[in-house]
Structure 1
């Protein structure tokens, strides 16, 4: 009981300290704005980065949500990186001791003190279980959850003030946006939910007899809400084509395998991997494709997914009239849409995609994709169409695959030749489950 009281007291002190820290950073930002008048979007991004974990994640949410935020903010927050200075191993070790009800030596025979990665929410360390398996431990940084809830409460309060004093604010439905952010961020600090996302995907792979793709095994007895212990994968990132050739004769086929798996998961899995950039795809030393990092997942209603697939098929044949019809179907609108005008707008919009430099996409310069997505959202808004919040995640992933394929196999096109096989693979399954 005393430990519980001490824990509550510590969390309360952290919350008070966090509110004070936030107030000071915001005050400094206000003084800077008054004296220097920098662009608002730039000032907000730099302020968010100073405020740390919660606000960095908020910035990334803004960057990936052109359907919810103004263009200048989406563009500015593309530079909001989630890379932080590692915290001392002693703090990580103390948290691990606090999480498990038995000595760490009964779980791990060795833990590397130097982290493999350090982000705002968690830090990752290589380790070996006492049973001999090589693993990675994803450890939530101390105090992150308390800071998260404190910050979200502050954001909610600020939202109410903005709605009251800035009625013409460009952001639509602020309360709904804050609620969406809260849901996603609370899920991201719950490693039990991330473990379940991995297990759901594993069941999907087993159900479809897919042996070419694998996700890391979760060691439940060495995992908690704040610690996630997973099988360690050995291989190379699918950003490195030359390195991939060590383990496969055909890097393009590895990508097609990953894409076919991801497309099928949209229909057959409870959620889809919503952050499957090349850094989260690995070609393993045995030639299989590894999907990692299931902290961010998306969900779409069946009718939205069906409209999305039809939209992509229409794009495959450059049938802009059919694209317009499906854009209306996947969006949320009660207004009457002039399909001919929408068709003309879509055709003009997709010239951006045709002119995009695929090499920039592979190197992480995703401005072209975000521009296209924002154009699509703006076209929709002009016609009274508002897309589901996870639609941008879906489209961005499809477009990312398209540009990635153009680098690996320039003679094929996700929206052309390659799409024929992808659609043929997933369409019959779609008819069975809907």
Structure 2
């Protein structure tokens, strides 16, 4: 038998065992049991690792999902981060927990980073940069970030793709797709969402995020969108020294939007920042139909004069006119405390709920609107 005729999953047996082992370790026996029969027929019992007990059963399902994703690495961390933005797919409590996912890893040696930079530039780094700082600003699973200075004196950051990350993600996606197909086969008509569709959507998203040139084009588009807005700072992207694995953009020094004490200490105004942040979001949705899809506090800096500086443009989203119109209806319904209007727009947007859940959804919406409708902006958390 030729190796090419062997299912790819055979070639990924070690990673399969690792994934199943982590699922069992964190108490996801129900998921493993769904796929067990199919995988036993294909691989035999050696696929299933022996795991001595799971974690403390007092942990919530969301906490266990977060810890499992962090242990399994970049593919699963990224998938968890994307799912955390999809309350139409997962419950709010799990989404909230997945928003805490930490995408931090041990930095790789600068020598390897320098090799990637040299390969992508097709020249020596010192021909482009007068200074390249070895100590990373950040080290995540997909990329490592370093400061540098261009020959024209501009202070920039280099986002350098980690060696081997594309292969790692490709293997994980093949396994995820296989597991999703098995789960769908055994749960068709039970789950609200097709797990295969979720994996396919994630596949498209992660591959866009792995293309740093595309991220650079996103930066340029945001720059054009907010060129007339002095309250928003969009860094400059340098395409002439960038590539699919190397992104060069302006260095931005600011304060993370979650550091409220530091924002107050340096004399910035939280109320102004909150208003500008809301306006930034609303313009993206209703004016441009193109939005930053990963706006967590680490990706939003505040700089002098209460200016907002978004970072990390790898994940973006698009909205067509009908969706924008319905989102406008949702916002109008909230402003006027019109729950029926909001629910009607939810249905038009495909945000489904079971017949028995309509009353609880309406109650939750009413509670949300009444809680925040009359609260002064000064008392809201930004």
Assess same fold via TM > 0.5.
Answer: yes
1:105 partnered with 2:123: no
Equivalent position to 2:15, from 15, 22, 27: 22
Shift of 1:264: 1.1
* Aligned Cα root-mean-square deviation (Å): 3.5
Structure 1 residue runs without a partner (length 5+): 1-14, 357-401, 415-434
2:259 equivalent among 236, 240, 257? 240
- Corresponding residue for 2:53? 36
1:234–1:118 distance in 2 versus 1, CA, 3 Å:
same
Deviations for 1:108-133, whole angstroms, at most 9, x for unmatched residues?
A: 11111111111111111111112111
Give, in whole Å, the separation in 1 of the partners of 2:154 and 2:310.
Answer: 19
The residue aligned with 2:287 is 268
In structure 2, runs of 5+ residues without a counterpart are: 1-7, 30-50
* Cα 1:233/1:275, change in 2 over 3 Å: same
Distance 1:30 1:261 in 2: 39
Q: Deviations over 1:60-81 (max 9, x none)?
A: 2233322123567546534432
User: Structure 2: how far apart are the matches of 1:314 and 1:27?
Assistant: 45
The alpha-carbon deviation at position 188 of structure 1 amounts to 0.9
Give TM-score scaled by structure 1 length.
0.70
Conserved in 2, the CA contact under 8 Å of 1:213 and 1:289?
yes
Shift in Å at residue 337 of structure 1? 8.4
Cα distance in 1, alignment partners of residues 286 and 134 from structure 2: 41
* 1:408–1:19 distance in 2 versus 1, CA, 3 Å: farther
Distance 1:31 1:93, change over 3 A: same
**In structure 1, which of residues 261, 269, 283 is the aligned counterpart of residue 302 of structure 2?**
283
Deviation per residue, 1:139-195 (Å, 9 max, x gap): 111111121112111211222222334546636212211111101111111111111
Q: For each residue in 1:355-379, what CA deviation from the matched residue of structure 2 results, as whole angstroms up to 9, or x when unmatched?
A: 98xxxxxxxxxxxxxxxxxxxxxxx
Q: Please state if 1:117 is matched with 2:86.
A: no
SS at match of 2:236: coil
Q: Which residue of 1 aligns with 2:320?
A: 301
The verdict on how the C-alpha distance between 1:192 and 1:350 changes in structure 2, with shifts beyond 3 A counting, is same
* Alignment partners' CA distance in 1, 2:232 and 2:11: 43
Deviation larger for 173-182 or 318-327? 318-327
The answer to whether the Cα contact below 8 Å between 2:130 and 2:149 also exists between their aligned partners in 1 is yes
Aligned residues of 1:62 and 1:73 also touching (Cα < 8 A):
no
Deviates more, 1:146-155 or 1:177-186: 146-155
CA drift at 1:83: 1.4
Equivalent pair of 2:268/2:306 in contact (CA under 8 Å): no
C-alpha distance in 1, partners of 2:210/2:309? Answer: 23
- 1:213 is paired with a residue of what secondary structure? coil
Tell me, in whole angstroms, the C-alpha distance in 2 between the residues paired with 1:248 and 1:18.
57
2-structure distance, mates of 1:302, 1:111: 45
Aligned to 2:101: 80
CA contact (8 A) 2:268 2:305 kept: no
TM score, norm. by length of structure 2: 0.79
**Pick aligned residue for 2:242 from 223, 228, 243:** 223
Aligned residue pairs: how many? 347
Distance 1:332 1:66 in 2: 9
Tell me: CA distance 1:303–1:413, structure 2 relative to 1, closer, same or farther (3 Å).
Answer: farther
Q: Does 1:353 align with 2:368?
A: yes
For 1:198, which of 219, 224, 249 is the aligned residue? Answer: 219
Are 1:409 and 2:378 counterparts? Answer: yes
Q: Shift of residue 225 of structure 1?
A: 0.5
1: CA distance between counterparts of 2:15 and 2:330? 44
Residues 157 and 48 (structure 1 numbering): CA distance in 2 closer, same or farther, change over 3 Å? same
Distance 2:119 2:276 in 1: 41
Q: What is the CA–CA distance in structure 1 between the aligned matches of 2:286 and 2:66, rounded to whole Å? A: 36
SS in 1 for 2:226: helix
Distance in 1 of aligned mates of 2:124 and 2:167:
26
Which residue is equivalent to 2:70? 49
Alpha-carbon distance in structure 1 between the residues aligned to 2:317 and 2:214: 13
- Structure 2 vs 1, CA of residues 199 and 331 (structure 1 numbering), >3 Å: closer, same or farther? same
Assess, with a 3 A threshold, how the Cα gap between structure 1 residues 323 and 25 changes in structure 2: closer, same or farther: same
Contact 2:24-2:54 at 8 Å conserved across structures:
no
On the 8 A contact 1:110/1:128 being kept in 2, the answer is yes
